[in-house]
Every structure is written in C-alpha cells, then in structure tokens.
Amino acid sequence: MRMRPTLSWTPVEGLPPGTTDPGPVVDALGAGGVLVLSGAGLSTESGIPDYRGEGGSLSRHTPMTYQDFTSSARARRRYWARSHLGWRTFGRARPNAGHRSVAAFGRHGLLSGVITQNVDGLHQAGGSEGVVELHGSLDRVVCLSCGTFSARRDLARRLEEANPGFAPVAAGINPDGDADLTDEQVGDFRVVPCAVCGGVLKPDVVFFGEAVPPARVEHCRELVRGATSLLVLGSSLTVMSGLRFVRQAAQAGKPVLIVNRDPTRGDRHAVTRVALPLGATLTTVAAHLGIPVGDRAGS
C-alpha cells in the first residue's frame, strides 16, 4: 500500500523557545564555514507563500504527489494547467533581502555552501553561486521516457500555442508554482508531449512522495561533514528531506542555528531558533558583520 507523504507536523511540548537575539547567528557566520539550508519561508517576502506558516498554502492546497502525476493523465492535465498559469507569476518573482544577504555572506567567504529546498531559483537570482537545489528547479523540464531535459520557457511557449486564450483568474500561487484553479477552470487544457520522443513531461522537481536522487543526498551530506555549523533559514523541517541534514550536523557535534518564526521539527537539535522575520534579521546580521547587502544581485 502506498503511503501519503508527510505534509504536516504538530509541535510537541518541551521544545526550546524561540529567541529574538540574532547574536548566535552573527557569531556563527563570523567564524565562517557555515552551511545554509533554506526553505520556502525564505521566499515569502518575494511574494511566494510558504507551505506551513501563517496563511501557508497547505491550508487550501494539497501538493501534487509523484504517484498521482505518473499514474493519472487527468492529474497531469490539472497539474500542467495550474503550473502553466502559476509560472507566469512565479517567473516574475525577485530575490528579497534574505536571498541577497545569503549571497553577500557567500561573497565574503563566510559560507561553505548553500542547500535549498526551494524550486524558485531566487538564491541564484540574488547572487549566490554553487547552490544545491535539493528538490530541483521549476525552470527545467524532463521527459520521463527518454530523459531529455529542456527549458521551462520552451514548454511555456508550446503550452501557449496549444491553449490559446487560456487565462483564468487564480485564487493564489503556491511554493511549487502551482496556481489555485478549480476543475472547471482547468477545463480541457491540452498537455503537450516530449518534443523528442512523445513521452510524458515532468518538471525537474522532486514531488511529494518522490525520493531525492541518492547522489544529490550524498553530496549534501558531504557538505554537512565539511561545514563548521548549519544555518537553517525559513524551513519547518517537517519532511525528512531537510531534517536529515539537521540531525546529521547535530550528531556530529556541529552547531545548528535556525531562523524561523514558528517552531520547527529540528528545534530540539538546534542551539537556537531566532523567531524573527528573515529579511530583516539577515540584513541586521550582515550589518553586525560589516557586510553591505545590495539591492541587486552581485551589488
């Protein structure tokens, strides 16, 4: 029997309380060798909602699972209709102060790496280099039959041509780029096949219920082994995909620091959780370190 993926987590009693003191984060970054692990909360200030925070998308939206996508043509039609519409908005999102701060820390040699659970590409747009996209990226598409990769912009053009005039009004946008549409709004949306072999196209992202490629996981574990400390930004750590790296760092005696307004599943492994907004907090941390955070990537 297939199990549904873990989508929620209820905080338990006994978790250490959050703090409003970013001092430990300043100290960790000042020492260098920090590995960043970011989640959807880092992109909320760019207009992309997170999954589980206040007003998070899981309150109204169940993300597509790998099992549903691969087993149902109807599910794929619904996904691509919603994702095609969402891509128009998602693609216009711009990096915020949090992304730019991470990039500034990297430029000043304070980071050993960046792992993101996000699929929005905003770390790179903000100026970060060498980002490991744990769950892939929405700007790529892969064929499940022949394995050919292609650019999302090319698929967007083909979908526009196949669905002229498709412009329903969505109720919202989700962290996976999926717009909220009713079945009536999806209608008879036409899905296009792989241009090479005619196979099924899938965004190059890890759906809920799908495993992260083992080589990518091992690369991330190697980054944890080489880091001095782990800094978690904007993640509830509900799913094991990110939590495993927190546990690995803690078991190795490496300090884990979290900046997230709400309690996380990793709090018991952390030396501190700063319960403040990410953009302002990271900008403050940068100021303490004498690092300017530009308004544009690379500035």
Query: Catalytic residues, which ones?
Result: 135
83 is in an annotated binding site: no
Asked whether residue 42 is marked as a ligand-binding residue, the answer is yes
- Report which DSSP code applies to 13: T
37 annotated ligand binder: no
Q: Is 255 annotated as a binding residue?
A: no
For 133, 227, 247, 249, the CA distances from 222, given in Å and listed in that order, are 15, 9, 14, 11
The answer to whether 161 is annotated as binding is no
Per the annotation, does 59 bind a ligand? yes
Tokens representing 263? Answer: 């309690």
- In whole angstroms, give the CA distance from residue 234 to residue 39: 5
* Residue 45 marked in a binding site: yes
209 is in an annotated binding site: no
Return the CA Rg of the chain.
19
Taking alpha carbons only, the member of 209, 198, 268 closest to residue 11 is 268
Beta bridge partners, 113, equal 35
The answer to whether 118 is a known ligand-binding residue is yes
18 assigned binding-site residue: no
Q: Does 24 count as an annotated binding residue?
A: no
d(CA 67, CA 209): 7
Q: Is 197 marked within a binding site?
A: yes
Beta pairing, strands 256-259 & 272-274: parallel
Q: Which ranges constitute the DSSP H helices of the chain?
A: 23-31, 66-71, 73-90, 97-107, 122-125, 152-162, 183-186, 214-226, 240-251, 278-288
Binding site for Zn(2+), residues?
143, 146, 194, 197
Binding-site positions for NAD(+): 39-59, 117-120, 234-236, 278
- Residue numbering of the annotated binding site: 39-59, 117-120, 143, 146, 194, 197, 234-236, 278
